[in-house]
Amino acid sequence: MLLNLFSELRAARVPVSLRELLDLIAALEKNIVFADMDEFYYLARAILVKDERHYDKFDRAFAAYFEGLENLNEHIEALVPEEWLRQEFLRSLSAEEREQIKSLGGLDNLIEAFKQRLEEQQKRHSGGSKWIGTGGTSPFGSGGYNPEGIRVGDAGERQGRAVKVWDKREFKDLDDQVELGTRNIKMALRRLRQFARTGAADELDLPSTIKQTARDGGLLNIQMRPERRNTVKLLVLFDIGGSMDAHIQVCQELFSACKAEFKYLEYYYFHNYVYESLWKNNARRYQESTPTHEVLNTYGQDYKVIFVGDAAMAPYEVTHIGGSVEHWNKEAGYVWMQRFLEKFDKLVWLNPYPKQHWQYTQSTQIIRQQLENQMYPMTLEGIEQAMRYLAT
């Protein structure tokens, strides 16, 4: 049974390993929780999930697992003889109600209707109903019967509550594929770190001073070393205006996070795609643009390049001479992009559009192809992946 949950979790990409599964089994053996779905859910969550980002995925996988249990329904119905249900049912009715049942077409019809209702309820309210059977409580208990038909009421209420815990999906916001804020971006950007001690030796290396001094029998032997710095250099190019207006906030957040995180950060703006000029100040872009050639020649190949843009445009803006929507470009956009690719070792494109929509835009496909798939969605996970690629 637990293996099902385990594989369900793996399928939902919750990082669980055998070790956690064994832990869970050990916990169950020690009877930390017993016969309570609610508590089992909490226990499984505490043991299997190690980060609140995965809570939402866990909730969904758990719901799926639980529905799987639901499908055992027929099996359980076979275990509880229908005769028994009928007996129990009839016993709970008053003479008056029995009369009404007859007027409504007899017990068989009603039970049929009840079963249907039961199925409906499962779909909407997974879990709440199955446990009626297994738990041995009468399905027609409190408020179960209604002269106008049969309603599955508060029987098995406890389980219903438990189901809601994961169906509520309270931790949706914490899923790293959704939320994005400066702090989180900074965390993601931290993947891109290359520490090195370079420059003048101006820091006292205390441990090795002590070591050397002790080795020299107490004669002070001072050791110096250069300071440790993040040596990553970053060149960020933002698409600005037009369809990017919708993504201003997220771009701002990315920008401010980058600024805080990297010492060597250069940025430029472009519109839709790169052509022969880029600019730094959007208000004065026509007065103060920088030729792209100059940018290509200024920064060394060890700069990591990040393009930020939605990559949604007319295909000819990428592929054709004169394709730009703003001016007559003598060389097609992809030629310029090719120069970037040749010059810099590592280059990625961050796209604020959700990944699943990319396939519907031809230009996105073209660009992605040109970049050899180094296009990432602008979610935390996407940024992290991009940084991981840049860092290698």
Residues near another protein (CB under 8 A) are 15, 17, 19-20, 23, 26-27, 30, 32-33, 38-39, 42-43, 45-47, 49-52, 55, 170-171, 174, 187, 190, 210, 213-214, 218
CB nearer to another protein: give 73 or 213. Answer: 213
Residue type, 136: G
Q: Phi and psi at residue 271, in whole multiples of 5°?
A: -115, 120
Closest to 162 measured CA to CA, from 23, 41, 34: 41
CB nearer to another protein: give 14 or 258. Answer: 14
> Rounded CA gap, 150 and 147, in Å?
7
Report, in Å, the least distance between residue 46 CB and another protein.
4
Which whole-number Å values give the CA distances from 341 to 195, 274, 348, 389, in the listed order? 25, 12, 10, 15
Angle at 41 between CA 180 and CA 124, to 5 degrees: 80
Strand partners, 308: 238, 350
Within 10 angstroms of residue 366's Cβ, the number of other Cβ atoms is 18
Report, in Å, the least distance between residue 201 CB and another protein.
21
CB nearer to another protein: give 232 or 305. Answer: 232
Place of tokens 């950007």: 189
Report, in Å, the least distance between residue 117 CB and another protein.
31
Report, in Å, the least distance between residue 137 CB and another protein.
22
Report, in Å, the least distance between residue 24 CB and another protein.
9
CB nearer to another protein: give 347 or 383. Answer: 383
CB nearer to another protein: give 90 or 204. Answer: 204
Report, in Å, the least distance between residue 287 CB and another protein.
34
Is residue 94 classed exposed, middle or buried when 0-12, 13-18 and 19+ CB atoms within 10 A define those classes? Answer: exposed
Report, in Å, the least distance between residue 39 CB and another protein.
6
Report, in Å, the least distance between residue 28 CB and another protein.
10
CB nearer to another protein: give 317 or 384. Answer: 384
Report, in Å, the least distance between residue 79 CB and another protein.
30
